Amino acid sequence: MSDSLPQRRSALQRVILYAGVALMCAWSFFPIYWMIVSSLRPERDLFGRPTLIPSTIDTGLKSYRTLLELTDYPMQFKNSMLVALTVVVITLVISVLIAYVVTRYRVPGKKLIVGSMLYAYMFPPLLLAIPMLSIFASLGLADSLISVVVAHCTLTIPLGVWLLWGFFKVMPLDLEEAAMVDGCTRAGAFFRVVLPLSLPGIVTVAIFSFLLSWTDYVFAFVLVSSDSQKTLPVGLASILGTFDARWGELMSGATLIALPLLVLFIFLSRYFIQGLASGAMKG
């Protein structure tokens, strides 16, 4: 009897835990489910009585066809992909170099440098976008994707340096010295030892950079004005007209925006979770 009571408590705790996890998952994923389902509903059902399971599915995918054929969505998708990938590459190169230098060389005030880089996150993006617009206009870079890339990097690089600094800081220097004793140069030890061991952190920085750039609205809205330079969030917002809301196309566009992020997390979630856990313990 005495043994059954702890077992019952343990079973009850597991039930409560699983119920809590299920509730949190349902709360988090329901908006995504509703977005996808709404993009598949016929137009007449979008404004009817809402149901969790649609009674009919638009087999012709009219909303997707209208979005891709009658709007600039394909061009905006290309612009967003170009900007996001460029931001990821620039962020990784600069973040890795800065984080490695401040952890392997004597740099005066390096902790202050790394810490001060995070101060950019204290300001709202709109507060940074307005002065950036005047700077880019004076440089002749206004209304271009280059200005959006530079603006995004002002937020992604500090985060990348801070995360990778935690990885490089606790990485034993003996590993590089052993590689150099075996004949590697400093650069060879960096590419053959340091980078492979830092892969979870590098993947985490890449995902964060891509996510921030892919979903940004403020910088792209302020810095870009021509239709040919618009990115997905700005272009999708323009679907909401003044007098009518094209909810079918809006839900279809939002689903297509989320698709690359879903693919990214499916293939890189293992590195992402490992990178977050390691960064939290090592930072």
Q: What average pLDDT does this structure show over 30-50?
A: 80
Residue 166's SS3 state is helix
Extract the tokens encoding 39. 């993009």
Task: Supply the pTM of this predicted model.
Answer: 0.81
* Residues 178 and 256 sit within 8 Å (Cβ to Cβ): no
191-219: pLDDT as tens digits: 887 888 888 888 888 988 998 999 899 99
The string of pLDDT tens digits covering residues 137-172 is 888 888 889 999 999 998 899 888 888 887 787 777
The three-state secondary structure class of 232 is helix
Token pair of 74, please?
A: 């394909």
Instruction: Report helix, strand or coil for 245.
Output: strand
Round to whole Å and give the CA distance between 251 and 241: 14
Backbone angles phi, psi at 41, to 5 degrees: -75, 150
Structure tokens at 234: 């700005």
Buried b (16+ CB within 10 A) or exposed e, 1-17: eeeeeeeeeeeeeeeee
Is residue 178 predicted with pLDDT exceeding 70?
A: yes
pLDDT tens for 226-249 read 888 899 888 888 776 544 667 778
Q: Locate 233 and state its tokens.
A: 């969030």
Max CA separation in the chain (angstroms): 81
Q: Residue type at 154? A: T
Q: What is the pLDDT of residue 245?
A: 66
Q: Are 203 and 269 in contact (CB under 8 A)?
A: no
Alpha-carbon span 51 to 130, nearest angstrom: 43
pLDDT at 281: 45
Place of tokens 């995360």: 163
State mean pLDDT over 3-28: 79
pLDDT higher than threshold 50 for residue 269: yes
Q: Is-contact 162 283, C-beta < 8 A?
A: yes
pLDDT at 153: 92
Residue 137: how many CB atoms within 10 A of its CB?
13
* Count of beta carbons in the 10 Å neighbourhood of residue 140: 7
The tens digit of pLDDT for each residue in 65-98 reads 888 887 888 899 999 999 999 999 999 999 998 8
Q: Which residues of 238-272 are buried (b: 16+ CB within 10 A; e: fewer)?
A: ebeeeeeebbbbbbbbbbbbeebeeebeeebeebb
3-state DSSP percent of the chain in helix, strand and coil, to 5: 80, 0, 20
Residues of the chain with pLDDT > 90: what percent? 15
How far is 232 from 8, CA to CA, in rounded Å?
52
3-class secondary structure, 240: strand
